[in-house]
Structure 1
Amino acid sequence: MKVLKFGGTSVANAHNIMKVVALLEKCKERKVVVISALKGVTDALNEAINKSQSHNDKYEIILKELYQKHCDVIVQVIPEKNQEAILEKVESCFRQIDNLLKGSFYLGELSPKKKDFILAFGEILSSRIVYEKLKSEKQKVAYWDAQELIVTNSNFGNAEVNFELTDYSIQYYFERCQADIIIAPGFIAKDQNGNITTLGRGGSDYTAAIIAAALDADQLEIWTDVSGMYTANPKIVKQAKPIDHILYREAMELSHFGAKVLYAPTIQPVLNKNIPVQIKNTFEPEAIGTLINNKKNDSINPVKGISHIGDITLITVEGSGLIGVYGVSKRLFGAIAKEKINIILITQASSEHSICIAVSENDSLKAKAAIDEEFKYEIKQQKIKPSLVENDQCIIAVVGENMKNHQGLSGKIFSTLGKNNINIRAIAQGASERNISSVIDKKDVKKALNCLHEKFFEGNIKQLNLFIAGVGNVGSKFIEQIQQQKRYLKDNLKINIRVIAVCNSKTMIFDQDGIDLNNWENLLKGGEMACIDSFLSKVEELNLRNSIFIDNTADNQIASVYQHFLKQNVAVVTCNKIACSSDYENYVQLKNLSLKYGAPFLFETNVGAGLPIINTLKNLIVSGDKVNKIQAVLSGSLNFIFNHFCADYSFHDIVKQAGNEGYTEPDPKIDLSGIDVMRKILILIRESGYQMEIDQIHNESFLPKEVLEAESINDFFKALEENEAHFKKLFLEASSKNCRLKYVAEFENGKAKVGLQLIEKEHPFYNLEGKDNIVLFHTDRYAEQPLLIKGAGAGAAVTASGIFADVIRIANI
């Protein structure tokens, strides 16, 4: 014999009820079927009650809609000749509800007893509809009124069951019933005075478990709209998956901490009788679902699921008056119990200086008042502080029976949260180690669930969420490379990259599920107006784990907001040199924020595009080496220009060509004036451990005054043409001495300079071709022969690959 329970979604409308009927026809065993109210009915009745108590006559509209909803279902499900009795039942029920709510409307109140009486009608009507449908098909069916079977106390709204009387009643009726199918309403019962009571939200599950335990059923089936219990809430964690098998106590923990697919008290009656519970999907009956029993399996993963409870308030009682005083805890919990407030979590410092409890946010004011009243004498004597209330909290629970046998599991949980800058306000762990619970800020719940799920259930695949600013030459190449390598990264490096946002100077787009990279350009054209403040706010609002902001621009305003990203635990990867070459104080602040908030700040492409210059320099410094001298050609664009400049071409044309091929900044004066090289050598100096500002670098400019003072890009190129003779003279001078022109940056003895130099054939810089960069580090370890790094130092593709490398570096941290 089986007991089956069908939830509100399973009987939400006529179509779904027909699915339930078909499922019952397939099940050949004798069965008791517990039915919830039609989807949304209990919530709507609660809303009507609240409106009536507030003297709001719109409760009448709600009742009319509910009445019509039930009538529509009846007309669609039950043959016309069988409709009269059930329609009369519906009319009678709503007449009673209307009479009670009219009184509530005028009086402004409704007793808990009358609320339960009203709320019971949802299950009464839905179960009657299913019963009449089966009866019309000449099924051997009976109807049990759960009010006559389940006996409770008079705690209206959440009544406690008298199992001795209830079990006897259920067994008595079952022995005398000859039907193959027995239909019963869930959620409702009666106290010993004959008053209707309810078993709490989710009480239909509980009703089914009570009946299953009383009858020693072979199995309890909970039919709902999902395929079992999930490793996490699938609405929040997209990668969550159904749990095939779980132990009773694990299921109890998960349901207690927010897994709404199962009402927490449901487990206890069937646990005592060792009756297996199967959670199934009404709309995917072929899916395996979740089996709950007491048989341990050999799962490698010690964690079975991650659950959470939102809208939690943390209340802390602290003071010297708690230390070594007998009965303090008893008084605290007694005061809470008097107000019938459920304590969800408890933690106490070993010093006994403080006790912390978590309660529902709805109970917070009542709880604080009760605690402060209980300890008013100690508060007056300043032995105990008034209770501290912290709202907008959430409890995250990591659950698994085998967690106690795995060392370091707590460390993994807390380090995972810490790396994502999720502050833990309180921790609770029982001696069984079946559940490790943490109280965190409610705004971090999505990030916490996702990063923990990623850690324990996603095969070590790390998801990176990218926010990209700038989609010009470098940015578009970067997106192209992501698209090309996405599958490889997931299969080989266990990295899953999602581009969440893209923006340029005009528009921006966001998609928290990931932007379609095959169509990002068209999507961006139709995006909202770009605004850096709005962009920041959106990133903060999404609050995604492993977030990385990518700056592919040369924009000063964007560089100025790095600190805001880092404070949100968003990593920053940039080829924009402005931030790291700004005031030394700002440079240090960004570094410190990166350390403080655990958000990497990487800028390898600031110097040498894709060359590993900065990372190599960092490794030298952290290993204890000291940089004494730097010599470098750091501008791929200037190297390209002077390598191609000759008697047959004008300097103007070569600069144009460099820009067209993507080797210069959008404003080429930044490159030719030496500012870009000054920024680069400054970054290397700072990364070497020296303090310096950009105005301390001597710039020996080779540009005539007219070129330097050009106010626009057009004026700049015009000035280049007008000063062609000056550039030809530079070229001829180098040729006459068998030298080549190179724009060189140097640092030695605390001094730095940049400028055009004549390089002889014997020098390492002489054969530097195309757009290549070269850096010589003279260090304590590399004293006789400097460490040399050489390669392509400009171009969209190599710069994009350098940014990509920084992103992968973050994934491996």
Structure 2
Amino acid sequence: MKILKFGGTSVAHAENILKVVAILKNQIQNEPRLIVVVSAMGGITDLLLTAAENAADKKQEYKALFETIEFRHFEVIRELIPIVAQSAIISHTKRTLNHLETLLDGCFLLGELSKRTKDGIISFGELLSSYIITEALKVQGLKAILQDSRELIQTNDHFGKAMVDFEVSNILIKKYLATVDNPLVVVPGFIARTQDGHTTTLGRGGSDYTAAILAAALQADLLEIWTDVSGMYTANPKLVKHAYPITDITYQEAMELSHFGAKVLYPPTIQPVFNSKIPIAIKNTFAPLATGTLITEYGNPKSNPIKGITHIDKITLLTIEGSGIIGVSGTSKRIFEALGNKNISVIFITQASSEYSICIGISDADTTEAKKALDTVFAFEISQFKIIPCAIESGLSIIAVVGENMKNYQGLSGSVFSTLGRNNINVRAIAQGASERNISAVIQSSDTKKAINSLHEKFFEEDSRQLNLFVMGVGNVGERFIAQIMQQKHYLKAHHKITIRIIALSNSRKMIFDEDGILLKNWQADIENGIPSNIHIFQQKVKAANFRNSIFIDNTASSAVAEGYSYYLENSIAVVTCNKIACSSSFDKYRQLKDLSRKFNAPFLYETNVGAGLPIIDTVKNLMASGDKIHTIQAVLSGSLNFIFNNFNTENSFYDIVQQAQAEGYTEPDPKIDLSGIDVMRKILILARESGLAMEMEAIENISFLPESSLSTDTVADFLSSLATNSHHFESLLLKANEKNCRLKYVAQLKNGKASVSLQQIPKDHPFYAVEGKDNIVLLFTERYNEQPLLIKGAGAGAAVTASGIFADVIRIGNN
């Protein structure tokens, strides 16, 4: 014998009920008897409850709600039942609805709603649905019979969540089934009856419980719970897109997951069948061929030791602490007794071994009453300053990592909390039972989604990582960066198990956001239709999204954008930038950003600040970390200046070459930054700092090759015009170099703690002479490389290589 329960979404309307009929038709062919438990039509219980409360509050709106309830049931009858058979069914349904209307009118007249009356009113949802579904089954040719569950299940009179008398109920259930021979018995879920005949309910989700009670009493072969999802999931699929159904799970694991918020199964459901070892299958009405979840005594011990990650929202932590509870027996008893007397459920408990404090998690709704109860019971100790008045912290959630076999795997707890720590998720309290079946942590509610996704990624997604990017600057570099992501996304997923999503894009005028990831195919058109760009609003949106593995990308040369790095790092958002302004500002600011990166575990990567895509900064960092010391750095660090002087000859004017370099994206938007030496000064300053020197920009000697009239210009146009005006000056520089058979190179040097930048004449035997195009070259003289320097050479300018350097930093974060 098999028991099947169909939830509210499965019977919400005629189309869904026909899916239920099809499932039953298929199953009845292989089973001698099916007991079918049905819930109220989706949303009806809430409508009944609201109508009752409105009536008791003297609100006329209850009448409109009643009409909605009436309409929905008649609509289903008209769609499911042929016209010739509708009359009797509509008549029966109308009589039932008239009874409901009388109860609601009574609440309105009396202006009150007792718990007993409330149970009576909300029972109509199951009474109506079970009757209509039974009649629909008959119309489809199935030999179905309806049995009122109130005649089978007896409870006490705790209306709202009655306790079942199993001894009496089991007798009633067995006796009834012995008297009927119909192969299909339909039973309304959720409702029962006291010994003296008053209707009770078994708590929200009680239809599952009804089915379990019947299964245990009849020693069924299987209990099937049919719902709108394909089983119990590794996490809430509404929060975790990569969550998937768990195929096998134990009773204990299922109880833990359902207690901690897995909505597909009502927590008390498992207990009746657990004692009889009756398997439970969670199935999907809308995908009946899907495997679903099978709940048994042993599950599958060879599967992932962690079965699921779930949570409970709207939690308050109550903390009782003080010297007055240390070593005092009975303190815990007084706490739980005080809360129990107020019918307050304790969800979470933890106590330090010092016994100085006890921390308890309860529902937010019980906070005021719980504090009052505890402060009252410990009033004397509080007056004697032995205990501090009960402290309250609300706006919390409990996340739970559940798995029967976790106890046999070392380091799982460490992995859980290190994963949370890497994402800067603060844990307020921790609990782990001796069974090690559940590791629970209390966190801020705002971190719930990030926490669950981070843990799910760690334990269920084959060490894959999803990186969430917020990109500011979509000009030459930004455009190529996006193109590289589009080109490489499949490779990264296949070979590095990295998935990259761009959540936000911004240029100087417009910005767009999409928490599901921007579709990059038409991003240029989308950004033109975005909202006005605003750095502060952009920051707030990045923080509010609160995604795991969040990375802010700065492809600009803006000082205002660079000022925001500390904001991102303080919120555990990684920063990747090609903007040199932050790292070349004051040493204190540079140091602050590095410290924030460490403190909040947020990577701060700026490899492209020097040498675009060349691994210059990373090499210096590794040398220093390994204990080497850098004595001298000689470098051609400006790809743009190298391009300019490599192409500047007697046939081309200096003005024309600078314009070409600007057009091809080799210079900063303002080429004066490159030609004045400021850009190279910033680069050698960054290398000096990475080498361990607390250097400021003012300490760098800048021997400019530009005439004063060029240096004093205020606009880009004026600066370019000055280059044309001073053409003889630049021709003279070229002529002098050619006379010595040298080439002009703009060189940065760091030696003995002093730094300088200048245009130099480089002879043929020097490594810098052969540096072509936009290439950079760096010579590192260190204690280990003291005779022959460590040489790094390659393209050091251009949008494509800069974008690839940014991309490399992003991948570095993903791989770590």
TM-score by length of 2: 0.98
CA distance in 1, matches of 2:27, 2:408: 41
Identify the match of residue 134 of structure 1 among 126, 133, 137: 137
- Structure 1 counterpart SS, 2:713: coil
CA distance in 2, matches of 1:359, 1:570: 32
> What does residue 802 of structure 1 align with?
805
Count of matched residue pairs: 813
**Match runs of 1:380-529 below 5 Å:** 380-529=383-532
> What does residue 10 of structure 1 align with?
10
AA matched with 1:661: E
Deviation at 1:103, TM superposition (A): 4.6
**Match runs of 1:557-636 below 5 Å:** 557-636=560-639
- Structure 2 counterpart SS, 1:742: strand
> Is 1:674–2:677 an aligned residue pair?
yes
Deviation at 1:513, TM superposition (A): 2.0
> What does residue 344 of structure 1 align with?
347
> What does residue 691 of structure 1 align with?
694
- Which deviations, in whole Å up to 9, do the C-alpha atoms of 1:740-792 show, x marking residues without a partner? 21111122233222121222223222221111111222222222232221111
Deviation at 1:591, TM superposition (A): 0.6
> Is 1:184–2:187 an aligned residue pair?
yes
Identify the match of residue 791 of structure 1 among 794, 798, 804: 794
**Match runs of 1:35-46 below 5 Å:** 35-46=38-49
Conserved 8 A contact 2:248-2:299: no
Identify the match of residue 769 of structure 1 among 756, 768, 772: 772
> Is 1:364–2:367 an aligned residue pair?
yes
**Match runs of 1:105-116 below 5 Å:** 105=108, 108-116=111-119
> What does residue 648 of structure 1 align with?
651
CA distance in 2, matches of 1:808, 1:139: 60
Deviation at 1:455, TM superposition (A): 0.8
- Which deviations, in whole Å up to 9, do the C-alpha atoms of 1:609-639 show, x marking residues without a partner? 0110000000111112222222211100001
Deviation at 1:195, TM superposition (A): 1.6
Q: Assess, with a 3 A threshold, how the Cα gap between structure 1 residues 647 and 108 changes in structure 2: closer, same or farther.
A: farther
Deviation at 1:436, TM superposition (A): 0.9
AA matched with 1:21: V
AA matched with 2:562: A
CA distance in 1, matches of 2:760, 2:140: 99
Deviation at 1:159, TM superposition (A): 1.2
> What does residue 381 of structure 2 align with?
378
Deviation at 1:345, TM superposition (A): 1.0
Q: Pick which of 422-431 and 598-607 moved more.
A: 422-431
**Match runs of 1:22-101 below 5 Å:** 22-28=22-28, 29=31, 30-101=33-104
> What does residue 324 of structure 1 align with?
327
CA distance in 2, matches of 1:107, 1:140: 44
- Which deviations, in whole Å up to 9, do the C-alpha atoms of 1:50-78 show, x marking residues without a partner? 33344433222222111111111111112
CA distance in 1, matches of 2:810, 2:446: 26
Deviation at 1:140, TM superposition (A): 2.0
Identify the match of residue 753 of structure 2 among 750, 766, 772: 750
CA distance in 2, matches of 1:215, 1:649: 97
- Structure 2 counterpart SS, 1:519: helix
- Structure 1 counterpart SS, 2:520: coil
CA distance in 1, matches of 2:54, 2:782: 78
Q: Pick which of 675-684 and 60-69 moved more.
A: 60-69
CA distance in 2, matches of 1:49, 1:534: 45
Conserved 8 A contact 2:25-2:142: no
AA matched with 1:116: D
- Structure 2 counterpart SS, 1:262: coil
> What does residue 270 of structure 2 align with?
267
AA matched with 2:12: A
Q: Pick which of 523-532 and 682-691 moved more.
A: 523-532
Give unmatched runs, 5+ long, in structure 2.
none
Conserved 8 A contact 2:637-2:683: yes
AA matched with 2:784: R
**Match runs of 1:201-350 below 5 Å:** 201-350=204-353
Give unmatched runs, 5+ long, in structure 1.
none
CA distance in 2, matches of 1:578, 1:66: 65
CA distance in 1, matches of 2:479, 2:588: 33
AA matched with 1:327: G
Q: Pick which of 107-116 and 435-444 moved more.
A: 107-116
Identify the match of residue 558 of structure 2 among 555, 563, 572: 555
Deviation at 1:213, TM superposition (A): 0.6
CA distance in 2, matches of 1:612, 1:195: 79
CA distance in 2, matches of 1:228, 1:79: 34
- Structure 1 counterpart SS, 2:410: coil
- Structure 2 counterpart SS, 1:564: helix
> What does residue 532 of structure 1 align with?
535
> Is 1:663–2:661 an aligned residue pair?
no
Deviation at 1:296, TM superposition (A): 3.9
CA distance in 2, matches of 1:763, 1:351: 70
Deviation at 1:49, TM superposition (A): 3.2
Identity, in percent, stands at: 61
Q: Assess, with a 3 A threshold, how the Cα gap between structure 1 residues 720 and 36 changes in structure 2: closer, same or farther.
A: same
Deviation at 1:16, TM superposition (A): 0.8
AA matched with 1:720: L
Q: Pick which of 98-107 and 236-245 moved more.
A: 98-107
AA matched with 2:744: L
Conserved 8 A contact 2:78-2:86: yes
- Structure 1 counterpart SS, 2:123: helix
CA distance in 2, matches of 1:418, 1:709: 51
TM-score by length of 1: 0.98
Q: Assess, with a 3 A threshold, how the Cα gap between structure 1 residues 777 and 304 changes in structure 2: closer, same or farther.
A: same
- Structure 2 counterpart SS, 1:401: coil
- Structure 1 counterpart SS, 2:347: strand
> What does residue 724 of structure 2 align with?
721
- Which deviations, in whole Å up to 9, do the C-alpha atoms of 1:229-288 show, x marking residues without a partner? 111111110001111111111111111111101111111111111111111111111111
Conserved 8 A contact 2:710-2:723: yes
AA matched with 1:299: K
> Is 1:118–2:121 an aligned residue pair?
yes
- Structure 2 counterpart SS, 1:678: helix
CA distance in 1, matches of 2:736, 2:293: 83
Q: Pick which of 532-541 and 757-766 moved more.
A: 757-766
CA distance in 2, matches of 1:395, 1:86: 47
Q: Assess, with a 3 A threshold, how the Cα gap between structure 1 residues 86 and 371 changes in structure 2: closer, same or farther.
A: farther
CA distance in 1, matches of 2:348, 2:357: 14
- Which deviations, in whole Å up to 9, do the C-alpha atoms of 1:84-125 show, x marking residues without a partner? 343344434444444444454465541111111111111111
> Is 1:19–2:16 an aligned residue pair?
no
CA distance in 1, matches of 2:596, 2:762: 42
CA distance in 2, matches of 1:673, 1:95: 89
AA matched with 2:173: I
